[in-house]
Amino acid sequence: MTSRWSVIWMRRSNLSRWGRFCMRLAALGQPPYKARRPLARLGRNGYVAPSATIYGDDIALAAGCFVDERVTIFQHPGGGPVTLAERVHLYRDCIVETGPGGSLSIGEDTHVQPRCQFTAFAGPIRIGARVQIAPNCSFYPYDHSFAAGEEIAAQPL
């Protein structure tokens, strides 16, 4: 159950430094982990846990998104957009990153369980709506070629 305290602070929240501070205050006294999901319904960009890292200029979180503890969303220089539709949940220790030629979009009501990784370089990653992704999954938009006797880092994507 969310307290009046949480409601007041989540209404002031957004992805700015001040808005993230408001999210931190809203979480005070709330139970941990998935019990904090109700906070996501209260803020215009959902709820982003204090230990989550969001870095980039083209990252969009729709209403109701839940970004749990230690999630990283990172846009490398030249990386494409990261778009989370309404009510997307990224649970603990997930890593989402885009690089040159890559982008990522996740459809509404999708839940990504802990420790998943999305690395979008050289192509897009598109996850549909109402998808459940199991823990410890990795997603890449390419197949890495390989040649015997040549270091993997020297081989093309």
Taking the domains of the chain in order of start, what are their residue ranges? 4-141
pLDDT digits (tens, 9 = 90+) for 93-140: 999 999 999 999 999 999 999 999 999 999 999 999 999 999 999 999
Give the pair of three-digit tokens for residue 30. Answer: 């709330």
Question: Is 0.85 surpassed by the pTM of this model?
Answer: yes
The pLDDT tens digits for 22-81 are: 999 999 989 999 999 999 999 888 999 999 999 999 999 999 999 999 999 999 999 999
Place of tokens 């200029």: 57
Specify the pLDDT at position 153. Answer: 78
Q: What is the pLDDT of residue 1?
A: 56
Maximum separation of any 2 CA atoms in the chain, in Å = 63
